[in-house]
Chains A and B, each alone.
Chain A
Amino acid sequence: MTTLDRRKLAGLVLVLLLACALPFFIANYRVFQMTLVLAYAIALLGLNMLTGYNGQISLGHGAFYAIGAYTAAILMDKAGLPYWATIPLAGAACFVAGFLFGLPALRLEGLYLALATFALGIAMPQILKHKSIEGWTGGVQGITILKPDAPPWTGLSQDRWLYFFTLAWMVFLFVLGWNLLRGRIGRAMVAIRDQPIAAQAMGVNTAMVKSLTFGVSALYTGIAGALGAIAVQFVAPDSFNLFLSITLLTGVVIGGLASISGAIFGALFIQFVPNVADQISKAAPWAIYGIVLIAFMYAMPTGVAGFLRLARARLVRRPSGPIPR
């Protein structure tokens, strides 16, 4: 997907219109769920840049989600900043954190990197509880955030307003991500994933691109964390345990590696499938979740996005080039 043809553009506009109309047809509680889906989609796109496009596996992105969430919460709670001003700052904080973590991680490949990030994911809840920063983080008690009101001219409920606020960020970040990934940097990222030595021979600054990818990926995830925290109105160390990191990676794989639209499908999956699993069995909700996961991977080995791409290619019956991974 390097350019947008007219039909695709029309399709995207239609989806966007539907997304704008959706909150007016569903209850506030559903709107809240959809807001979380949007936030997760941003986080998944961030992780997908790193894992799908650049081939670096991270099992610790929940940590960046947490840093974003806490940055927003602390800025609102302690510094009295308005909620909208905390989002870019949360992104910036995570960019720095991600870039710095990416530097030492350069030496680690594949599974070793996965383990290093795994450690970050495990450590994060305990770091958040640490005494030295308890004054800001609220320790184990966490921080309660006030829910922002919609500007009076919109006449929207708080939930609907937050939905649109999050949607705007998502669209902005997706366009940005699309721009980044189809251009020179995106090609360099993919080249490093597929043939690191060849990429270096071609003059790609491997170390820089990898670290930057880590930073940008963390930035996306951090912004998602901030948006999610404002929607939930609460942050606590227990919100960001290891399972969040694993859930994010699951979402990326289910949605489709190296696919932008896959982030949305993945977000829908991680938001709603656990609820369905709980409905089916109280005794072993995770077993049900696991079965659904296996079924998905069996039926759609390239993720939902990859499956749709294949289905479309077959339906249109137009000879298409090699399917991008």
Chain B
Amino acid sequence: MSKDPSRISRRSAIGAGVALAVGGNAFAQAAKYGPGASATEIKLGQTMPYSGPASAYGTIGKLHQAYFKMLNENGGVNGRKINLISLDDGYSPPKAVEMVRRLVEQDEVLALFQTLGTPSNSAIHKYVNAKKVPHLLLATGATKWGDPKNFPWTMGFNPSYAAEGAIYGRYLIKTKPNAKVAILYQNDDYGKDLLKGVEETLSGPHAKMIVKKASYEVSDPTVDSQILTLQGSGADTFINITTPKFAAQAVRKAWDSGWKPLHIVNNVGASVGSVLVPAGLEKSVGLLTMQYYKDPNDPQWKDDPSMLEWRGFMGRYYRDGDPKDASNLYAYITAQLMVQILKQCGNDLTRENVMRQAANLKNIKLPLLLPGMTINTSPTDYFPIEQGQLAKFTGTLWQGFGELISTDAR
């Protein structure tokens, strides 16, 4: 190519210097880059409901932005800054398709991270798998995200709703086999998924345990009449599959009406700050739920080092965020896990390797998860969180009891 060897050597010397300066401890000549990755930057994309009916969850995307800002100020991941392009989909599936196509085809992101909502993710499920774009840590608990055989590019984050339902079912069979169970559920994919987990566990000889089911729509003003119907069935156990607003109403009504059953409220509706305080703490004593991360409103974690770190972050980087909102803690955990995957990728930042590393998480401990929990995935296991713990509400805090239980759906 060139006749002047001295020039080549000078050029490569400069190149090596740049590589050292940029890559830090990593050697750049071994680096492999797919779309959206370079020696200085890793581009991630997501859609979030910043507007529309689910805009309360928009805080998750804002926290991610703040987290990566902090990370970049501290040197990024293996010397590369993370650039998260977060777009509004208004919780509308067609808009999600449009935005994800933009992220993939125009912005050329390396991977999608925490796209939120079952409808939006359903709409892009086939597309991202056809395009072979890592579709990681979806912010939804539908069971269908853990299907590596048919959708090898999609991996959820939340423990599946069906698995959570199965845990409640198994708990009842073990501790209260003669229970008469009434169930209230939200009439959508989330509610039905969780209900399915309960029903599949309470089947066969246990099928008689379920005496009554009632559903409500997200647009309903209250669930009072449903509670009275369930109470009228003579049930002594109540599985409450509802989102925060309705969970608070149900907890209060089940108490005020004098029913007072053994009351299991699902994880989605178990936040102390947004559910139990409005419902009345004294009315919440004895509630059961399943947890997998620490509740920011729970006094037992007040001086927990990981909680202090998180509060410090909230104060410095995300002052607009509500430190009582468990979504902000959830988002912090998912951002940490994403960083873990990228760290594991090292200098091989191709989409294939990102997916390989996402499916190769071994004994990852994140401090905001419950003590003892680990995250594990494999090419045949696309459920990162597969543990939880039952907890009982004491009137001030959720007291975990029993061992960590596996939520393994399979």
Q: Which residues of A contact B (CB under 8 A)?
A: 27-30, 32-33, 36, 122, 126, 129, 139-142, 144, 228, 232-234, 236, 238-239, 241, 243-244, 274, 277-278, 282-283, 285-286
Contacts and interface: CB of A to CB of B under 8 A. Distances in A.
21 contacts: A29-B101, A29-B102, A29-B105, A29-B106, A30-B106, A36-B98, A139-B189, A140-B192, A141-B122, A142-B119, A232-B93, A232-B94, A236-B93, A236-B123, A239-B94, A243-B52, A274-B88, A282-B65, A282-B86, A285-B50, A286-B51
A27 B122 contact: no
Given A27-B106, A29-B105, A239-B94, 11 more contacts: A29-B106, A30-B106, A32-B101, A126-B219, A139-B192, A141-B122, A243-B90, A244-B92, A282-B61, A283-B62, A285-B50
Contact of B94 (A29, A141, A228, A283): A228
Contacts, number: 95
Contact of B189 (A122, A141, A234, A239): A141
Nearest to A244: B92
Contact of B122 (A33, A228, A234, A243): A234
B163 interface: no
A282 B217 contact: no
A232 B90 CA distance: 16
A33 to B, nearest CB: 6
Contact of A126 (B88, B98, B217): B217
B88 A233 contact: no
Interface in B62-98: 62, 65, 86-88, 90-95, 97-98
Interface in B32-58: 50-53, 58
A233 B97 contact: yes
B126 interface: yes
Interface string B181-193: 0000001110010
B104 to A, nearest CB: 8
Contact of A238 (B65, B93, B127): B93
Given A234-B123, A286-B51, A32 B187 contact: no
Given A28-B105, A129-B188, A239 B219 contact: no
Nearest to B48: A282
A236 B97 CA distance: 13
B131 to A, nearest CB: 11
Interface residues of B, number: 37
A234 B188 contact: no
Given A28-B105, A29-B106, A282-B50, A234 B219 contact: no
Contacts of A285: 50-51, 88
A277 B90 CA distance: 12
A286 B55 CA distance: 11
Contacts of B86: 282
B125 interface: yes
Contacts of B219: 122, 126
Contact of B119 (A233, A239, A244, A277): A239
Nearest to B102: A29
Contact of B98 (A32, A140, A142, A277): A32
A267 B225 CA distance: 43
Given A29-B106, A142-B93, A236-B119, A241 B61 contact: no
B94 A36 contact: yes
**Closest 8 interchain pairs by CB?**
A278-B88, A29-B105, A234-B123, A238-B119, A140-B189, A29-B101, A232-B94, A285-B51
Contacts of B123: 142, 144, 232-234, 236, 239
Contacts of B92: 238-239, 241, 243-244
Contacts of A274: 51, 88, 90, 95
Interface in B113-150: 119, 122-123, 125-127
Contact of A241 (B53, B125, B188): B53
Nearest to B126: A144
A144 B125 contact: yes
A292 to B, nearest CB: 14
A32 B219 CA distance: 32
A178 B33 CA distance: 54
